[in-house]
């Protein structure tokens, strides 16, 4: 269920990433609420990728899915 909530929330941010030629893939969620994601396309090689993960995706996921504690890139 938690995984489904995260994937639904990621679908909300996906169009913004795709507009810049990138995307995000869900990898896993740990028992501690840490979500592992993979940025792909232009986002995977972007120098701002960490900022996108932390300031963009992580803050949105925490708001939409309170069980999320952090987001890490893999």
For 28-41, the three-class secondary structure string (H helix, E strand, C coil) is EECCCCEEEEEEEE
> What is the pTM (predicted TM-score) of this model?
0.88
3 state SS of 50: helix
Q: How far apart are the first and last CA of the chain?
A: 22
Q: What is the pLDDT of residue 38?
A: 93
Q: What does the pLDDT look like over 14-57, one tens digit per residue?
A: 998 899 898 999 999 999 999 999 999 888 888 888 888 888 99
Q: What is the pLDDT of residue 48?
A: 84
């Amino acid at each position: 269920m938690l995984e489904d909530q995260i994937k639904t929330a990621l679908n909300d941010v996906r169009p913004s990433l795709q507009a810049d030629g990138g995307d995000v893939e869900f990898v896993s969620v740990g028992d501690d609420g840490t979500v592992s994601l993979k940025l792909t396309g232009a986002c995977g090689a972007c120098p701002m990728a960490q900022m996108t993960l932390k300031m963009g995706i992580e803050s949105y996921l925490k708001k939409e899915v309170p069980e999320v504690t952090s987001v890490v890139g893999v």
